[in-house]
Amino acid sequence: MAEYCTDPDCQFAFGTCDSSHTPAGPTTLNDPRPLLGKVTYDGDIYDCIENNVVALTYDDGPFVYTSQLLDILKSYGFKATFFMTGNNLHKGPIDETAPYPALVQRMIAEGHQVASHTWSHYSLSNITSDMRKQQMVKNERAIANIIGKYPTYMRPPYSQCDQASGCWADMKALGYHRVYFDLDTQDYLNPNSIENSKAIVKQILATPGSTDYLSIQHDIVQQSVANLTYYYFDLIKNKGWKGVTAGECLNDAPANWYRTPGGSTSTSVLTSRSTSTSSKATTTSKATTTTSKTTSKTSITTPKSSTSSTSKTSTSTKRFVVAAAAPTPTSGPACVVQAGQFCGTVSDFSDKQGCKVSAANCYLQALNCPKEAGKGHRNDCNHYTNICQKLNMYCTKCEDTCSKSGFNI
């Protein structure tokens, strides 16, 4: 019965989960939460501001492999953002269970960024507003118990935080930036075949005209840490780029990355804020990496529509399984790959930012292909994943004129 009481798969509707535990100390729920800095609190973030960087981000830790990852990062002089869960995968509360407090303190001491991936990895689109807030503030309290502050950056588990559920509003009310990615290493899909992930990063980093990426890995995947990381970092280094935190890639001052319990940072607060749709593109080619950024470029992306194909209604919290839309949507794009009950689509887009959102949606659907398609459709799922990778590279190369009609599936 223990497997039904531990997260992320705990059946919380029927009793107490291991993550029902609340960290010691006063709740942060009613802390003042001014919106710090210039990075959006309205739009989903997929992209960097800075050139010649890969924002290295790691989900689901800290874990038993995180110490080795910190050693590797230090040897390369790279920095990373750790989107941490507080009590998940049987590891116990991170503020009470060795060696996690020491690892988190080491992250801060060595210049990395600590961010939130919620307390116990529930889909934020499929739980109540009160539960969403508790998922965030419990993690805040645990992180603050370790380092005396808590983050303003978060990544939704399963990439599920939609507008219709109220998740966007809740995250903004709590003062969080919603950070996604535009380079998926797919290490979680290849724990025993990490060469596949190596091929992905090699192909994407070789894309002509690319200037930066916001990458996702998982420090709970042993081969991702011990094998992929060296290969990946060498590619970045040989390209003349560097590995940085999400905050650095967004040109956000480190003082804006955290709040202190009961108060805020000393950073000045913007009195007005809007969601800009300025794109990264300029009249200079993206291949020109020394002066291609202009002052009009921002770190914000256009918020995904509430009718996006990533809208989720499933209550599943199975590890690494994304709840997908119905196999045959009554409206929206047609299936580009159909296998069993799986319908893989490419959503419409008419500009570069919409292209990035479409690629992210594609990756989300690809995660669910093995489950929806069933046995015997592995090649179909691989084909759809290749389409997602191809779309992501198209988004990187196209400028503001890119559109779905120009993408050759």
Question: Which residues carry out catalysis?
Answer: 59, 218
User: 153 with 176: CB under 8 angstroms?
Assistant: yes
Beta strands in 9-97 (DSSP E): 53-59, 81-84
CB 48 within 8 Å of CB 298: no
Distance CA 48, CA 246 (A): 8
The answer to whether 151 and 175 are in contact (CB under 8 A) is: no
Contacts 24+ apart (CB under 8 A), 72-78: 72/225, 72/229, 72/230, 72/233, 73/110, 73/112, 73/243, 74/110, 76/233, 76/237, 76/243, 77/242, 78/233, 78/236, 78/242, 78/243, 78/244
State both tokens at 194: 């990490």
* Helix, strand, coil share (%) of the chain residues, nearest 5: 35, 10, 55
Integer-rounded Cα radius of gyration of the chain: 20
Q: Please report, to the nearest 10 degrees, the dihedral formed by the alpha carbons of residues 175, 122, 334, 277 taken in order.
A: 10
Q: 358: which residues sit within 8 A by CB, 6+ positions away? A: 346, 347, 348, 349, 391, 395, 404
In this structure, what is the dihedral angle of CA atoms 19, 166, 115, 289, given to the nearest 10 degrees?
150
Helix, strand, or coil (residue 137): helix
Question: Rounded to an integer, what distance in angstroms lies between the CA atom of residue 389 and that of residue 184?
Answer: 9
Close Cβ partners of 307 (under 8 Å, ≥ 6 residues apart): 332
Residue 241 CA neighbour count, 13 Å, CB half: 24
The one-letter amino acid code at 49 reads I
User: How many beta carbons lie within 10 A of that of residue 313, not counting itself?
Assistant: 13
Task: Report the C-alpha gap between 303 and 354 in whole angstroms.
Answer: 9
